[in-house]
Amino acid sequence: MSQSKIRSQFPRLKRTPFLISSPETPTYNCIAFAAQDVQRWWWPSPSYYWPPNVDRTENLQTFIAAFATLGYEACADGRVERGFEKVALFANAQGKPTHAARQLPSGRWTSKLGNDEDINHSIYGLEGGQYGDVAQYLKRKLTSRSANPEQKSA
């Protein structure tokens, strides 16, 4: 997908810079990418990956519960906090989860766009488009295993 196609779905990216940081791939999605898993498509639908023992109802609480299995807990905002890494869960106007983005050490965010590319962006840039707005920020302590948030695989 071209940058202009991405901007057509996320109008605020016309006013704030973003970088395409990977080729297109259907292998993983935004939820998996935020969870640092680039081998699977995470979604609470039959036959798709969803953490064991987490309810497969499609709502914000189950998405928060899915990230809780990785040590994440709710937090107030997306500001950079030393020693923590953060995830932003997006939801549409009906409150249905649509997307997850992962914070980079710089304070910018990285996202996988559906079946397409990864991008580096601001939270503002991705809000107000196809994904709606951020509904919940999550954070977890950085460990030696997760110390390099630029890494892709879990």
Binding site for another protein (CB under 8 A): 6, 9, 26-27, 29-32, 39-43, 45-50, 58, 96-99, 112-116, 130-131
Q: How far is the CB of 129 from another protein (least distance, A)?
A: 9
Residues in the chain: 154
Q: How far is the CB of 3 from another protein (least distance, A)?
A: 13
Distance (Å, rounded) from C-alpha 140 to C-alpha 74?
Answer: 9
Distance (Å, rounded) from C-alpha 143 to C-alpha 28?
Answer: 24
Q: Given the complex with another protein, which of 55 and 77 has the nearer CB atom?
A: 55
Q: Given the complex with another protein, which of 58 and 73 has the nearer CB atom?
A: 58
Q: How far is the CB of 154 from another protein (least distance, A)?
A: 12
Distance (Å, rounded) from C-alpha 40 to C-alpha 60?
Answer: 20
> Of 64, 72, 65, which Cα lies nearest the Cα of 136?
64
